[in-house]
Amino acid sequence: MSEPIKLLHEAPEVEPKQAWPEPLPLYRDPEAPEAFPLEALGSLAPVVRETLRIVQAPDALVAASYLAATSLVVQGLANVVVDGRVYPLSLYFLTVAESGERKTAVDTIATAPLRERQKTLHLTQQDEATAWEGRYTLWEAERKAIITRKNTSRAERETALEQLGPPPSKPWSGIMLTSEPTYEGLVKLLADGWPSVGLVSNEGGSFLGGHALSQDHRLRTLSGLSELWDGQAIDRVRAGDGATLLYNRRAALHLMAQPVVARSLLADPLAQGQGFLARMLVTEPSSTAGGRWYVSESVLDTPEYQAYAARLTRAFEIVEQVVLNDPEARKQGLSLKNIPLTPEAKKLWTNFYNHVERNLNGELLQIRAFASKLAEHALRLAGVLALFENPEATSIGKDAMEQGVALAEFYGAESFRLVGGYRIPRPLALAAEVLNWLLEHCKAKNRRVFHLAEVYRLGPPAVRSARAAREVIRILEEHGYLAHRPNIEVDGKPRKDAWEVNPHALPQV
């Protein structure tokens, strides 16, 4: 148990003799998920199986971690094209898992080859940046000398400037992985860091509850991420930074978040209505805790993992060589080939597309927004697996398409279970969000009591009024998470309205 949580458990109670009840769940848990279709992972299946055997984390969590890492690399190689319609290979994942499900361990393992490449590339690019600064200084000095040159005509100066040429291109920083960016920071990373990046966080609550998704920035961030998924050019105009227009940039995303945080996003009308959730592959796999007996092996030492790392590194080196050797890469972004489906793969995909379309107003009605993109998800998943198998592939075959469809069907079932068939009423989702904030707030303050003004001044954006805060607190009281404590002191000041957190609601680990 961490020290702040231990102190909260040991904090003196306002009414020591009170018998605290066990809090009632704010909403029912979803039904058990289907087993992840590991056989549909193609060449990724062996390393996923070995990670499941040794680390013993939930199956969908492990699969999403490897798929996201692979997407980060191969999205820089190609797009899928069907009848002139171009689809990027970017994948967005949201994995819902409690603390202790080994999210960090799995993320560290799956992204280790990328982090190693990032380290090597960044150190090399730092040397390049030092050399560039010298070249740029000389270029700027020559430019100023031409402009201020006496006894020359304007035409002669213009000719000299033309001969001098444009400034030397600034090198990339080589940074491609980030965990808690603002949208503006992500754009800057795509402009200066690397044209293909990954937003990967094993503590997704930091991003979901951070500055990027605050009330003032939420719509811009969700819209921007949606446009990135679509492969659109990034256009951004700011008074301080000027105008930014970026082409052929790509972003992969994997957020791993605890249920109370993730469900607030799943129930968010803006995330649903804007289309962000329709672009995400969401899972909440069953816990493996309680049956994870220690295995005296390292995933990193297995032949399956070494084969995975070698494939990923090979694909990344192809992207790296093109990006670093193309002087136009800063302007034009990634050099992406468009790969089609083979006739057999296209027939299979077309049948799947039509099957989904026939059911949009029927059994898929509850997840129609997500289902409308289900065929595209299948294409992207098939493309990612095909290019992991062979980064120089010129088409997507039937086998990869079958795998993409099988995975899309699994994520469709999960979407129906978590987003469609299992809808959390907004007041209860908000209560869960506020409860999570309260626990963090009390931990930081080292006390279990709080007053009303703290909630509507400091709490989540949706409760920034006394009326809204009271309504959420009422729900939490009814479910046994809080007890009203009128006319008590909080931080040495008397408070008319204050509450105490039920110790049974505190984290136990």
Would you give per-residue pLDDT tens digits along the chain (509 residues)? 456 556 656 666 677 667 888 999 887 766 788 899 999 999 999 999 999 999 999 999 999 999 999 999 999 999 999 999 999 999 999 999 988 999 999 999 999 999 999 999 999 888 887 888 888 888 888 888 888 888 888 888 888 888 888 888 888 999 999 988 888 899 999 999 999 999 999 887 777 777 767 777 788 889 999 999 999 999 865 545 556 789 999 999 999 998 878 877 887 888 888 899 999 999 999 999 998 999 999 999 999 999 999 999 999 999 999 999 988 888 899 999 999 999 999 999 999 999 999 999 988 888 999 999 999 999 999 999 999 999 999 999 999 999 999 999 999 999 988 875 456 677 888 898 899 899 889 888 889 899 999 999 999 888 989 999 999 999 999 999 999 999 999 888 999 999 999 988 887 53
Residue 239's pLDDT is 46
Which tokens in the block code for residue 198? 């990954």
For 344-382, b where at least 16 C-beta lie within 10 A, e where not — what string? ebbebbeebbeebeeeeeeebeebebbbebbbbbbbbbb
- Cα 75-76-78 angle, rounded to 5 deg: 70
CA-CA-CA-CA torsion sign (131, 137, 138, 140): positive
Residues contacting 52, CB < 8 A, separation 6+: 38, 59, 62
Residues 417, 420, 421, 427, CA torsion sign: positive
Strands 196-201 and 234-238: unpaired
pLDDT at position 509 is 38
What are φ and ψ of residue 360, in 5° steps?
-65, -35
- The vertex-223 CA angle with 220 and 226, nearest 5°, equals 145
Burial 158-178 (b: 16+ CB within 10 A, else e): eebeeeeeeeeeebbbbebbb
Task: Evaluate the CA torsion angle 216, 217, 219, 220 in order and state its sign.
Answer: positive
Q: Return all residues near 16 (Cβ < 8 A) that are at least 6 apart.
A: none
pLDDT of residue 16: 66
Predicted local distance difference test score (pLDDT) of residue 12: 67
Q: How do 177-178 and 337-339 pair as beta strands?
A: unpaired
Q: From 35, 86, 33, select the one nearest 415 (Cα to Cα).
A: 33
- What pairs with residue 498 in β-bridges? 451
Question: Terminus-to-terminus CA distance in the chain, angstroms?
Answer: 5
**For the chain, give me the number of helices (H) and strands (E)?**
19, 15
Sequence-separated (6 or more) residues with CB below 8 Å from residue 381: 67, 91, 403, 404, 407, 408
Look at the chain and count its residues: 509
Q: Running DSSP on this structure, what letter comes out for residue 496? A: S
List beta partners, residue 242: 238
DSSP assignment of 397-463, as one string?
-HHHHHHHHHHHHHHHHHHIIIIISSPPPHHHHHHHHHHHHHHHHHHHHT-SEEEHHHHHHHS-GGG
**Contact call for residues 253 and 225 (beta carbons, < 8 A):** yes
Round to whole Å and give the CA distance between 75 and 154: 47
For 297, phi then psi, to 5°, come to -145, 160
Tokens of 429: 């989702």
Tokens 């957020």 locate to 255
- State phi, psi for 362 to the nearest 5 degrees: -115, -115
pLDDT of residue 97: 92
- Judged by DSSP in three states, 177 sits in strand
pTM to 2 decimal places: 0.79
pLDDT tens profile 398-448: 999 999 999 999 999 999 888 754 566 778 888 988 998 998 898 888 898
Convert the pLDDT of each residue in 77-109 to its tens digit: 999 999 999 999 999 999 999 889 999 999 999
What DSSP character marks residue 40? G
Structure-token match 């990032």, residue found: 118
Contacts with 405 (C-beta within 8 Å, 6 or more apart), sequence order: 348, 349, 352, 378, 382
* Consecutive H or E run containing 30: none
Query: ∠180-277-250 over CA atoms, to 5°?
Result: 55
- Beta-strand ranges (E) seen in 108-232 are 177-178, 196-201
Give the chain's radius of gyration (CA, Å).
26
Whose CA is closest to 196, among 333, 330, 23?
333
Let me know if 109 is exposed, middle or buried by CB neighbors in 10 A (0-12, 13-18, 19+): buried
Alpha carbon 434 to its chain centroid, in Å, reads 22
